[in-house]
Chains A and B, each alone.
Chain A
């Protein structure tokens, strides 16, 4: 599957597994509950681990685990659910997380610019949409007024 990562279209190597699937080898993304239940085993295995979070699961739940997590994915059950925007900012700005933050679910080009500003670096656009359009949308705005994860200063402090 192709995804957008660090502003490029790339082949995704992460495998998403649910509660019961064997972890196997390689890099995997597990639901938060599995991470919490099998934390030590998941850390001990070879291959990187990422965790899949729902919008009602704030980053505080994994704040102490971030050193072990190469990826945090936030699910957008609907693009209208704006909670993950706050979660991503907190991951970056409060918890200092520098790994991949991935947007999954109802991910559409019209929201991608905002997601990127909040700290998302990877996107799985909805399967029925053209990923190239989504990539282009990362350039929707050339300037921004307010600070966010991508820019600590408001525009007025950067005005000439």
Chain B
């Protein structure tokens, strides 16, 4: 992974000094809350319903075991003993005291971590394919470019007071595991003419109250122009993005209102001025960055591990877990393991300090000391020998991290909702807990197959409900919590925005409504057909009729 040099350390030290001073001025009353707010937000510090919340950046979801141990230490020392992984691959602490936040940041700096630009109207943490570097379907590892973009966007003097927040996602694989079509800028490494690899550039995607799928702005961009092209997009957005209405301020609205052709024209015109400026990426820099993301020291293993298939035959529970939580690796004899943070009874994405320490230990023992966070709020050990899977599974099980539910109905993406969040209209965690409790029969869950159910506690859509096969959105109706259901969304290559099926449900009716929807699927599906494909074939009507007939 990327290692800081003296320059990176100096910049981060300057930032900590600056922020400590801002906190001191706030505590002394020399900064009003109004003035402090954008400053603290730029450092990931929110004021929530009950306390401050501190969001720590996990650049492109890559963590070392030492970083995770440090997060465990912070959770235990400064918080209530747990943390929460977010849909931007970051980690949030829900209960830090304001006057201790500068100390937390000093601690995190020891392991090259920070909370820079995890909020605010700036370029946020850049997310990437959590299987980067190990996926069998990868064209090129996106992490060197994610790091190049991270450095480019860190404390960018021109783009720190944008009309609104700005999110990048990048993938280098055929299968999109980073939801690039739902980002302000989505980047895909693709193979062009002469086998050269370059970027496809999307812009104007996003969720929130106006969900939109990103538009293709440039079908082919040479790697060396990555930063200049991005700067051109950012400059057009900074100058022309709406600032009169914060709900219309994201770049998706600008792209939509100008139209793709006019937006592209402005970007290209701007780009013509700067494409050969100091932003031109040289080969040496790309090579230097690639040097930080080299393959670990894999053993040479020929053929599949015999013990792995024997263990699966002998131990049904292991086989179930392996079927759901283990993914093919590009190296023979290795596997990608997803650790479920969706155990029954636990808010999705929450991890205790003890679990963090155990995971760090397991990463050291089985996966070269590194791990990934995913936007689906799970963790991944990317480089596990098949021969170690059984031992790893047993260790994970002891710590409640082996729930075999990845990409099932119970692998719910869920925002913190009204239990924590000052923006929320409704609670989302209790709904997710009620659903996982109701659908606790794993044979039934597996029979339902691949299914994405996401929950947001308000229209800001942090829980990605728009991109769920079954989406649940909390709304406020005269002071009461209600839930709208959407169907047909998808985050990946087949990106789609879910459509509302009808009037909202009371909290007590949600599980029943989901049950009805699943029944329609089970009755109507063809052999081997996924929920989303049945929905696309049948349309919303049969689902709608059943749900409202029974409610």
Contact = CB atoms under 8 A, between A and B. Distances in A.
Interface in B370-388: none
A79 B239 contact: no
Contacts of B154: 145
B184 to A, nearest CB: 15
A144 interface: yes
Nearest to A126: B35
Interface string B450-491: 000000000000000000000000000000000000000000
Interface stretch (A13-21, A33-41, A82-90): A82-90
Interface in B8-67: 10-11, 14-15, 18, 22, 35, 38-39
A27 to B, nearest CB: 28
Nearest to A113: B157
A85 B238 contact: yes
Query: Which 10 A-B residue pairings sit nearest by Cβ, starting from the closest?
Result: A82-B161, A117-B157, A114-B157, A147-B278, A85-B158, A141-B14, A152-B278, A153-B278, A145-B151, A156-B285
A145 B161 contact: no
A154 interface: yes
Interface in A73-118: 79-83, 85-87, 89, 94, 108, 110-111, 113-115, 117-118
Given A83-B239, A141-B14, A111 B161 contact: yes
A145 B155 contact: yes
Contacts, number: 100
B398 interface: no
A31 interface: no
Nearest to B17: A140
Nearest to A158: B7
A118 B158 contact: yes
Q: Give the size range of B's interface with the partner.
A: 35 or more
A158 B151 CA distance: 14
Interface in B151-166: 151-163
Contacts of B279: 146-147, 154
Contacts of B159: 82, 85
Given A85-B159, A86-B238, A141-B155, 11 more contacts: A82-B161, A85-B160, A87-B239, A94-B273, A113-B157, A114-B157, A114-B158, A146-B151, A148-B158, A152-B278, A159-B7
A71 B15 CA distance: 32
Contact of A140 (B18, B239, B243): B18
B277 interface: yes
A57 to B, nearest CB: 11
Contact of A141 (B11, B152, B163, B239): B11
12 contacts: A81-B243, A86-B158, A108-B35, A117-B158, A141-B15, A142-B10, A144-B11, A152-B278, A154-B278, A154-B279, A157-B282, A159-B7
A107 B329 CA distance: 53
A143 interface: yes
Interface string B192-207: 0000000000000000
A156 B288 CA distance: 10
Contacts of B39: 110
Nearest to B240: A83
